Every structure is written in structure tokens, then in C-alpha cells.
Amino acid sequence: MTRWTRRPEGSNWGEFGDDDQLGRLNLITAERRLAATREVREGIAFPLSLPLDFPRGEYALGPRKPPVLASTPLGHNHRFLPTVPDVVSDDLAVLHLQYSTQWDSFAHHGGVFDLDGTGEPAICYYNGYRADVDVIGDPAGSVPPHADALGIETMAQTGVQGRGVLVDLERAVGHERVAVGYEMLAEVMAEQHVTVEAGDILCVHTGLTAIMLDLGDDLTQEKLNSCAVLDSQDHRLLQWITDSGLSAIVADNLAVEPFSLDPAPGAESVLPLHTHCLFKQGIPLGEMWYLADLAHWLREHERSRFLLTAPPLRLPGAVGSPVSGVATV
Ligand code: UVW
């Protein structure tokens, strides 16, 4: 069923079908997944997640909180019966799903757009799915939130496995805060012999999660503001993302792009790359992945490609998820 008669400029809505909820993940075909497995030559695996109680320090003061672990009524070191030696420990966790290494689903970031040209813009998401119809919940929290469409379980059902391609911005600019636009990205990719083909998952290494891990509780706002980000004000970069055919973007920084609660007057979005990827193009975003060990190995071996396996939790209704991805080289 068509959910719109007008689609936002720069969007690909409808191109994967009226009811599509997978966006550019559709480009990870069986053939491309098979090609990704051919990147496995050594059999070495790199885990790509921070411990989920990281980052600490200043970051932990924000609205998203570190996980809280507790026991279920079964408890820890619990003996089922006094007559047999079986012992069980059983947990529950209160988890802010986007506190640490994470995937953002398309239900995480939408926009306000006049879908039918009636002059009444609607709050909506990728492919015209609507707030209150498909993504339920209100800002005051009086309705239990639930993504009936576009949620993280939809993404989980694809397995999220394909070819990862890493561009090493730390190697190019160190830990300096640089907003990397199209020109610089193209230059770095050429220097590092990185090419991105349709269906590839682009991984952007900046070094930030390694800093988070090193500093632990001493992580400061200054350090959180270090390392490269993609320059989401650069329209050529956004156009390249559209044209490249990449299926997802992953970074080891906070939001892939810069984030400010004080956008320039007239700005189209506080997070233009989120709007471009999650809302317009159906490109999932990964944030705060731990890419350092993989990046350093690839650097040493002059490689940039690998098999990437990174399904989110199959949690019905959720809009984001922690992820413990694995790269195999
Ligand atoms: C930010 O934290 C700004 O990004 P996200 O909501 O995608 O995690």
C-alpha cells in the first residue's frame, strides 16, 4: 500500500516496494553475501563491541544510562532442590538500548513532511510509515512505545551479514576533530585503496571508542569531542552516500556526524546525516562500535575488506539495539 503521494527530496522511498522496511539492506543479496565470505582468508575474528557499560565518565551523565543488572527471583547461586547439586544463576537487565555500541533502526529517526500535499505535514519515517499508526508512543510517555513497523526486529530478521569495508580516518588525521566531507573522504579512500560497492557496509574508524575504553571513568567532554566525524553539512558527501549503493554506515564515534543542540538558524535537521540515511534512504547507522583492533590489523596487512556479521537483538517494537558484531578477515 502506498503511504504517500509526495516523497522527500533526495529520498528513495518506494524503490524497494511500497511496504519495504529494509531500505538499502535489500542490496545485501545472496551473491554479495557469498562474495563477502571470500574476504575470509585467515580465519581471524575481531569482536566489534565495547563492553556495554562503556562509555563511562562524562558520557554516563547523559540521558541514556549504563545497564543495571539484577537477579530474577531465581537469584544467583540458587540451588533448585536441596536433594540434588544443580545450581543456577539468572539475570535481568535494565538496558538503555542505545547507550553503548548500537544499531539505529529507521524507526529511530524520522522527519516532518507533507506526504499528500494537503498542507498538513505528518510526523513520519522511512517510506512514509507514520507516527501514531506505525511507530506508536507520545513524547509525554502516556502511551507505551512500540514500533509496529521499521523496528529493530525487522533488521534482525535479515541477519545483517555482508561485506564490511573500513576507511581509516584515524590513520589519516589522528585524533584531531575534523569534519570529513566528500573531498577528504575520497582522498583518504584513494590513498588507502578503499572502494565501496553496492551492498557494502561502510565502517568508519576514528579511534574514539578506543579512547573511551582507555580512559574509563576519566573520559571527559573534551575527549568525547575529539576524533573525526563525517561532515553532514556537505551535500556532496550525502549525494555520494546515495550514489555509492552502500547498505549501512557504522562508526566508532557517538553519532557518525557532529551533534549540536544549537543548530544554525534555518537548518533542515539537527542531524542531517541521520535524516539522509535513516529517513530518506533507508540506510541503518551503527554508532560507538569498537573498530580499533580490526583497523590496526587491516592497516598492517594493507587490507580494507572483511566479512561482517552484526545482527541486532530481535526485540519486537524496539527502535535501536546493542550489537556485538564480528568481523572475520
Ligand atoms: C545521538 O546520540 C545524537 O545519536 P543517536 O540518537 O543516533 O544515538
Domain range for 85: 66-94
Record the pTM.
Answer: 0.97
User: pLDDT value at position 32?
Assistant: 98
Ligand 1 mean position to 254 CA, how many Å? 7
Report the DSSP pairing between strands 305-309 and 326-328.
antiparallel
Q: Is the domain of 196 the same as that of 70?
A: no
User: pLDDT value at position 190?
Assistant: 98
Total of domains in the chain: 2
Please, are residues 67 and 289 in contact by the beta-carbon 8 Å criterion?
no
Confidence of residue 138 (pLDDT cuts 50, 70, 90): confident
Helix (H, G, I), strand (E, B) or coil at 163: strand
Q: Is the pLDDT of residue 268 over 90?
A: no
Q: Is the pLDDT of residue 327 over 90?
A: yes
pLDDT tens-digit readout, 51-60: 999 999 999 9
Q: Is the domain of 182 the same as that of 321?
A: yes
Position in ligand 1 atom list of the atom nearest CA 287:
8
Range with the poorest average pLDDT among 78-87, 261-270, 302-311: 261-270
User: pLDDT value at position 153?
Assistant: 98
Q: How far apart are CA 28 and CA 201, in angstroms?
A: 9
Please, are residues 212 and 53 in contact by the beta-carbon 8 Å criterion?
no
Interface ipTM: 0.94
Ligand 1 mean position to 25 CA, how many Å? 20
The average confidence (pLDDT) of the chain is 97
What's the CA angle centered on 81, arms 79 and 87, to 5 degrees?
25
Chain Cα centroid distance, residue 290: 12
Say if residue 55 is preceded by a cis peptide, omega within 30 of 0.
yes
Q: Is the domain of 250 the same as that of 266?
A: yes
Q: In the chain, pLDDT over 90 holds for what percent of residues?
A: 94
Q: Is the domain of 183 the same as that of 227?
A: yes
Could you tell me the three cell numbers for 34?
A: 557469498
- How many Cα atoms are found within 13 Å in the side-chain-facing hemisphere of 214? 9
Pick the residue whose CA is nearest to atom 6 on ligand 1. Answer: 255
Q: Is the domain of 277 the same as that of 254?
A: yes
Q: How far apart are CA 32 and CA 198, in angstroms?
A: 9
Position in ligand 1 atom list of the atom nearest CA 255:
4
pLDDT tens-digit readout, 156-204: 999 999 999 999 999 999 999 999 999 999 999 999 999 999 999 999 9
Q: Is the domain of 200 the same as that of 53?
A: yes
